Structure 1
């Protein structure tokens, strides 16, 4: 089955979240990093990390999965959802020609 690619946006609870996390929120976000590192090692996450938007930082990732149900499972199991929420969108991934 051909993989589908999804763009995920992790939206923090407030625009200043990256600068003023509580100690409890820092622990949650460390668990989030561990979770996404595992997804990267498994080949599910293609890229992930914070986006330093001047209007307020947020998390971003691109994943390769079989279907939307897998996206929902990945996002709902992320420890970060204890304080953040996700938006996700199907995308058409374009890759460079490796023959060149």
Structure 2
């Protein structure tokens, strides 16, 4: 089965979130990084991390899954979803050794 690729955005709850996180928010974001690192190790994530856009820092991930529901499940189980909002879009990814979806 061909993988479906998505660009996944984690949008912060406020524009200055990255600079003004509370201790509780920082702990949740630490859990978030650990969670996505495990998904990365499973080969479902090609890259993830903060985008240092001068207007607002946000998270970005490039994900390859079997179907959209699998992505929804990944998002639903992410601790960062408690304090930030996700959006995602299908992506026509060109990656080594994998056909274009």
Give the TM-score range, shorter chain.
over 0.9
2:7 pairs with 1:7: yes
With the length of structure 1 as denominator, give the TM-score of the two structures. Answer: 0.94
Any gaps of 5 or more consecutive residues in structure 1? Answer: none
5+ unaligned residues in a row in structure 2: which ranges?
Answer: none
After TM superposition, the runs of 4+ consecutive aligned structure 1 residues lying more than 6 A away are none
Count matched residues: 97
Alignment partners' CA distance in 1, 2:10 and 2:96? 27
What SS does the aligned partner of 1:49 have?
Answer: strand
What is the RMSD of the two structures over their aligned residues, measured on CA atoms?
A: 1.0
Spell out, residue by residue over 1:9-29, the C-alpha distance to the aligned partner (whole angstroms, 9 max, x if none). Answer: 000000100000000000000
Q: Distance in 1 between matches of 2:96 and 2:35?
A: 28
